Amino acid sequence: MSRKRRMFDISMPDDLPDDLPDPSAEPATETFPAGKEDRPARRGPMATAISETAGAARERQQVEAQIRAENDALAHEHVRLKKLGLVLEVLPLDAVETYKLTRDRAPGPDPELDELKQSIQDIGLSNPIRVEPREDGKFELIQGFRRLSAYRALYEETDDDLWARIPAAITPRGDSLESLYRRMVDENMVRKDISFAEMAKLAVDYAAEPGTQETDPDKAVAVLFKSAGYQKRSYIRTFIKVIGRIGGALIYPHEIPRALGLALAQQLDQDPALAGHIRSDLEGWENRSVMDELGVLRRAAGLGAVQDGQGVQTAAPKPKAPAAGKAKTSFQLERREGRAKCTAASGRLEIRLNRDFTTIDRRKLEQAVQQMLDNLD
């Protein structure tokens, strides 16, 4: 039985719009399901976490790279400043030695040390010392002998760890001995109390130093005191004559006034035997004062009476004759500070050592001497 097809009549409107799609064109892509808009694919929680972790890692790497670059720049700047001696460190006192350079300091107590100690206690150390590193891990003092002495004295007197370490600028190794001496001299040239005798003694010691190229003290003056004027260098060379001929017999060479030193040098040139007479007058006169010694020098220079503190002229006392006794006994001892030279004579026992004994507490020094004398019996 066959089915009949039904026919439907479709009425098309006569006024169709012109923008109807072309039936021959390819059909447009349909959206499924119908009515949904295009949206990006949604990621799951794991993918989001991985993406965020990777982003954080990249940011961290960038920050770390920036920090490393800044640290490298700071390290290079630190090395540069250290080479210039502009980096400060706080060093233990026992790590600083004073052997390499001969100091332009008069032996004996420093009358201004107490003022320096008080200043350091009140406002601190305004100018650090300057040192050079040694191969054994310690440091050699280049500048700041009085500052170092003040710190040592404060630590000895107070036993306070505050004074057990001292600020220091580190000068790189490699500077010539001449350069190191110049650093020390130029710093001390501004001192008002440094005497011509001290400067002359430094020139003599510099010329005798095996590590220097100059062996003539007069020429050493031009090396060490380049920043000084011509006249001042001339005075130093004049005092070299005095120190060279009678310096060993003097206890207070740094107290010689400029005029006396110039007159004395002239007399020493005119009378070669005068140096022997001066040494003979001073020999064995251990308890003489500054005025006693200057009186002998003034008479030798033909200047007559000596001036006391009030400007009154007084006759210089006659030197005491040395006490009779047996010949001297001399020996040397190796110490941590260096070689100690000991001389024993009738009524006298002398110890020479490269150490400032004035920085030792008086009670401690007195006890040590007492024990030594007791052990001699």
Instruction: Tell me the mean pLDDT in the region 250-278.
Output: 90
Most confident residue range from 22-26, 280-284, 353-357: 280-284
| Cα distance between residue 157 and residue 155, in whole Å | 5
The pLDDT confidence band at residue 13, using thresholds 50, 70 and 90, is low
Question: What phi and psi, each to the nearest 5 degrees, are found at residue 367?
Answer: -65, -40
How confident is the model over 160-199, as pLDDT tens digits? 888 999 998 887 776 666 666 766 666 665 555 678 888 8
209/248: higher pLDDT: 248
d(CA 270, CA 12): 150
The pLDDT value given to residue 314: 46
CATH number of 69-175: 3.90.1530.10
Rounded alpha-carbon distances, angstroms, from residue 266 to 43, 202, 376: 105, 21, 48
**238 near 265, Cβ under 8 Å?**
yes
Tell me which of 1-15, 36-50, 208-222 is least confident: 1-15
Answer for the pair 268, 245: CB distance below 8 angstroms, yes or no: yes
Of 3 and 334, the one with more pLDDT: 334
Q: What is the mean pLDDT of residues 107-123?
A: 75
How many other C-beta atoms can be found within 10 angstroms of the C-beta atom of residue 263? 18
82 has a pLDDT exceeding 90? no
* Percentage of residues of the chain with pLDDT beyond 90: 8
Measured distance CA(232)–CA(247) in Å, rounded: 20
pLDDT at position 67 over 70:
yes
Residue 360 and residue 367 in contact, taking contact as beta carbons nearer than 8 Å: no
**Under 8 Å between Cβ of 317 and 294:** no
Q: How confident is the model at residue 264 (pLDDT cuts 50, 70, 90)?
A: very high
Of the listed ranges 98-102, 274-278, 284-288, the least confidently predicted one is 98-102
What's the pLDDT score for residue 320? 47
Q: pLDDT at position 75, please?
A: 65
- Do the bridges between strand 96-97 and strand 129-133 make them parallel or antiparallel, or are there none, so unpaired? unpaired
Is the pLDDT at 310 greater than 50, yes or no?
no
Q: What is the pLDDT of residue 324?
A: 45
Q: Residue 40: exposed, middle, or buried by beta-carbon count in 10 A (0-12, 13-18, 19+)?
A: exposed
Mean pLDDT for the stretch of residues 200-222: 82
Nearest to 178 by CA among 149, 129, 148, 215: 215
Our measurement of the distance from residue 250's CA atom to the centroid of its chain's CA atoms, rounded to an integer in Å, reads: 31
CB 235 within 8 A of CB 196: yes
pLDDT at 210: 74
- The whole-chain average pLDDT of the chain stands at 75
pLDDT at position 316: 44
pLDDT of residue 325: 45
Q: Which of 33-37, 79-83, 281-285 has the lowest mean pLDDT?
A: 33-37
Distance of CA 333 to the CA centre of its chain: 30
The pLDDT tens digits for 101-113 are 655 455 555 666 7
Q: Are 252 and 286 in contact (CB under 8 A)?
A: no
Say if residue 313's pLDDT is above 80.
Answer: no
pLDDT (0 to 100) of residue 21: 58
Higher pLDDT, 125 or 10: 125
